[in-house]
Amino acid sequence: MGITVGIVGARGYVGAELIRLLAAHPAFELAYVSSRELDGQPVAAHIDTYTGELRYCSPSHEALPALGADAVVLALPNGKAKLCVDAFDDAVSRGVAADPVIIDLSADYRFDESWYYGLPELTRGRYRGQRRISNPGCYATAMQLSVAPMLAYLDGPVQCFGVSGYSGAGTTPSDKNDPDALRNNLMPYALTGHVHEREVSSQLGHPIHFLPHVAPHFRGLTITANLPLSAPVERGDVMARYRQRYAGEPLVRVVDEAPWVSAIAQRHHVDIGGFAVSADGRRLVVVATEDNLLKGAATQALQNLNLVFGLDEMTGIPVLENC
């Protein structure tokens, strides 16, 4: 038997992507997938590439530890993870269950220093065997990868204009995931104090101003980052810095032109490009695109699972040629 993984909250878009990735992984085996709405239904009826016999289940929080998975991925809305984590911690403290690896995809533990913040390209050097992993937000991933190579040269807050497909709003009905409301539209929301703004500012140790919007497309996000600089730069030197910083990172591709979001859907990497420099060299604009359901969530969770269990980080992650 392989390393067993359970998914809690598997009905959503990210849960579906995780099922696809884990079902095809050579070392991991799905132990259970939970969903109250789909309880009892065959997973294969909802996931086109899944051919196993597993059915969705709906255990209580208290029952989860007894299911015995080596790792558990919490694909729950913000504010819902703590009950699950508390149940595992209680069972471990009472000696009635083994201590699983827990990966939380919500924002609930991204500011908890006792949890490893799993953005591998920037933080894998901080991993010290932690069994509690906080997966970064989708926008937060693209923003940090866009800004990190220039941290030493910043002079003032970085402005990040973000546009995401409506899958980023999840499956609970709202204007932000209603195709009819979004048709021919661009919907701004949470223009100050967004959780990703706080997350990126905290992780980078530098103020970030984030301006999120939702567009009519389903998946994929774009970040346009405006970086004020303390000294003039040349475009060629900037590109060289980004390429050096992400050399050997299969899931970060540095490109010349500004990337288009339509080209990133269903792909597991981040494209970073554009690199427009103002006439005085003191302002840099960088554009990044990413599939919010993959590198922004499920793919990154798989990177972290691979890391925790001592596997090659790219195991089970299909990277297309020239990515």
Asked whether residue 29 carries a pLDDT value surpassing 70, the answer given is yes
Instruction: State the pLDDT at residue 184.
Output: 86
Instruction: State the pLDDT at residue 168.
Output: 66
Contact 242, 149 (CB under 8 A): yes
Asked whether residue 1 carries a pLDDT value surpassing 60, the answer given is yes
Residue 157: both structure tokens together = 């807050």
Q: Coil, strand, or helix at residue 110?
A: coil
Q: Coil, strand, or helix at residue 199?
A: helix
**Residue of 84, 138, 160, 323 marked catalytic:** 138
Contact 140, 200 (CB under 8 A): yes
Q: Decide if 160 is catalytic.
A: no
Report how far residue 270's alpha carbon sits from residue 259's, in angstroms, rounded to the nearest whole number. 10
Instruction: State the pLDDT at residue 182.
Output: 75
Mean pLDDT of 109-138: 97
Mean pLDDT of 106-124: 97
Residue 63: both structure tokens together = 């029952």
- Partnered with residue 225 across adjacent β-strands are 160, 286
Instruction: State the pLDDT at residue 230.
Output: 98
Residue 275: both structure tokens together = 């690199």
Q: How confident is the model at residue 181 (pLDDT cuts 50, 70, 90)?
A: confident
Asked whether residue 298 carries a pLDDT value surpassing 50, the answer given is yes
Higher pLDDT, 83 or 177: 83
Q: How confident is the model at residue 302 (pLDDT cuts 50, 70, 90)?
A: very high
- Mean pLDDT across the chain: 94
Q: Coil, strand, or helix at residue 286?
A: strand
Instruction: State the pLDDT at residue 166.
Output: 86
Instruction: State the pLDDT at residue 323.
Output: 46
What are the structural domains of the chain?
3-108 (3.40.50.720), 138-292 (3.30.360.10)
Instruction: State the pLDDT at residue 201.
Output: 98
pTM for the predicted model, two decimal places? 0.94
Residue 128: both structure tokens together = 């010290």
DSSP string, 30-97: EEEEE-STTTTSBGGGT-TT--S--BEE---GGGGGGG--SEEEE---TT-HHHHHHHHHHHHHTTSS
| % of the chain with per-residue pLDDT over 90 | 87
Mean pLDDT of 101-130: 97
Mean pLDDT of 181-190: 85
Asked whether residue 77 carries a pLDDT value surpassing 80, the answer given is yes
Report how far residue 64's alpha carbon sits from residue 73's, in angstroms, rounded to the nearest whole number. 12
Higher pLDDT, 248 or 171: 248
Instruction: State the pLDDT at residue 82.
Output: 94
Q: How confident is the model at residue 322 (pLDDT cuts 50, 70, 90)?
A: very low
Q: Coil, strand, or helix at residue 117?
A: strand
Render pLDDT for 233-244 as a digit per residue (tens, 0 to 9).
Answer: 999 999 999 999
Contact 148, 122 (CB under 8 A): yes
Asked whether residue 171 carries a pLDDT value surpassing 70, the answer given is no
Instruction: State the pLDDT at residue 218.
Output: 87
Report how far residue 10's alpha carbon sits from residue 33's, in angstroms, rounded to the nearest whole number. 6
| % of the chain with per-residue pLDDT over 70 | 95
* Centroid of chain to Cα 279: 35
Which secondary structure element, helix H or strand E, spans residue 144, and what is its range?
helix 138-147
Residue (of 115, 159, 122, 165) closest to 141 by Cα position: 122
Q: Coil, strand, or helix at residue 198?
A: helix
Mean pLDDT of 163-172: 76
Report how far residue 174's alpha carbon sits from residue 30's, in angstroms, rounded to the nearest whole number. 31
Is the alpha carbon torsion for 126, 113, 197, 314 positive or negative? Answer: positive
